[in-house]
């Protein structure tokens, strides 16, 4: 059974608080006819702090799409190795044991992908498979876990490295003055994260079932407009209410696994905003504390896109609440509107077989 091991998460050093965000909104958009609404919405996010790859002065400047993408590439290459090395150590593996790298990011673009750079620079085998994912947004963290799970089922004993890299601050567009855009400016943060899915052995979430669900005719609710100035994030006002459409998908997948979605032991859920979590509590009939890790991620780091589920999972590891056999769910939500869902039980690694080395698993496959 494949096990999602403890993630490694890192955030850049530049911090902006909610009060600083509100002050910036007041000074930058003093004449905005809906400023009061924007300030109220930002405050309601509950995001106390966010981390940025650049100082706020540089973040608010727009040197052009090319210059920003160069910042993305530079910062990714500087920050990804740290989380990769730590994630491998958490899984008790080396780069040579990895058979597939899944790299997810929606805030910059590189071709060849960062997967090629990692293989060349971080000691991975030259036959390591590559799966870069660029267009699933916040749902990509959950999708990466699911594709890793699928791969380990197709190639028993194989090991997969997941890397999520999101520098949301590089998407700031000073000319986007809609309420949704201004709210986003106070919600999203920057982070990098990595985790290993071991085909055998390991401590963490033993993956048993995964599934996807797309809500029909909601493609325009979360989207990018790609223009000369780069990616322009577009957020529809209907997005906060999507849990009424996605909660049934969580319920259905659990039922397929003969589980009651409201009776699991832990939930690692994408924290797009506080209403997402509040509505899930209502629809799944759960107390708010069941989403404690997701809420902590949102409060301390903001919405860090595809990194959220890995950050929340790391917090669950740190909580010390995980016990052998505990049943849980991991779910990421994003554009489409799409949900990527995993179900599994907690494995402590006791009495479990040792993972094959990547090379040995590759030969058996």
Contact indicator for 205, 12 with CB cutoff of 8 Å: no
* Residue 61: partners with Cβ closer than 8 Å, 6 or more residues away: none
Contact indicator for 211, 170 with CB cutoff of 8 Å: no
d(CA 23, CA 32): 14
Between CA 212 and CA 30, with CA 184 as vertex, the angle to 5 degrees is 165
Q: How far, CA to CA in Å, does 53 sit from each of 76, 165, 227, 340?
A: 10, 12, 23, 28
Contact indicator for 197, 4 with CB cutoff of 8 Å: yes
Q: How far, CA to CA in Å, does 359 sit from each of 91, 96, 126?
A: 16, 7, 11
**How many other β-carbons are positioned within 10 Å of the β-carbon of residue 227?**
11
Query: Catalytic residue at 138?
Result: yes
CA proximity to 103, closest of 90, 112, 92, 93: 112
- Catalytic residue, from 138, 165, 168, 307: name it: 138
Residues serving a catalytic function are 138
């Amino acid at each position: 059974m494949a096990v999602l091991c403890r993630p490694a998460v890192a955030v850049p050093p530049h911090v902006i608080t909610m009060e600083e965000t509100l002050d910036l909104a007041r000074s930058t958009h003093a004449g905005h006819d809906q400023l009061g609404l924007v300030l109220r919405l930002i405050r309601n996010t509950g995001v106390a702090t966010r981390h940025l790859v650049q100082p706020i002065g540089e973040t608010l400047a727009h040197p052009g799409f090319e210059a920003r993408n160069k910042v993305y590439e530079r910062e990714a290459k500087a920050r990804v190795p740290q989380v990769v090395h730590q994630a491998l150590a958490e899984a008790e593996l080396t780069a040579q044991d990895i058979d597939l790298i899944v790299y997810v990011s929606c805030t910059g673009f590189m071709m060849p992908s960062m997967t090629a750079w990692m293989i060349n620079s971080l000691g991975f085998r030259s036959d390591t498979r590559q799966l870069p994912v660029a267009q699933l947004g916040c749902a990509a963290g959950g999708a990466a876990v699911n594709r890793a799970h699928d791969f380990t089922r197709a190639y028993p004993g194989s090991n997969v490295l997941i890397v999520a890299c999101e520098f949301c601050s590089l998407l700031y567009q000073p000319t986007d003055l809609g309420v949704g855009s201004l709210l986003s400016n106070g919600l999203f943060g920057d982070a990098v994260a990595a985790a290993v899915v071991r085909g055998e052995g390991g401590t963490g979430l033993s993956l048993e079932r995964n599934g996807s669900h797309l809500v029909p005719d909601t493609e325009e609710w979360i989207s990018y407009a790609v223009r000369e100035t780069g990616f322009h994030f577009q957020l529809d006002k209907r997005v906060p209410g999507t849990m009424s459409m996605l909660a049934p998908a969580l319920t259905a997948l659990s039922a397929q696994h003969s589980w009651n979605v409201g009776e699991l032991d832990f939930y690692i859920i994408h924290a797009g905003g506080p209403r997402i979590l509040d509505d899930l509590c209502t629809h799944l009939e759960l107390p708010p504390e069941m989403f404690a890790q997701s809420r902590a991620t949102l409060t301390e780091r903001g919405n860090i896109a595809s990194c959220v589920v890995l950050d929340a999972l790391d917090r669950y590891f740190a909580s010390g609440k995980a016990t052998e056999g505990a049943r849980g769910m991991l779910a990421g939500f994003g554009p489409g509107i799409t949900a990527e869902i995993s179900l599994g039980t907690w494995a402590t690694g006791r009495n479990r077989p040792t993972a094959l080395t990547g090379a040995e698993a590759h030969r058996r496959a």
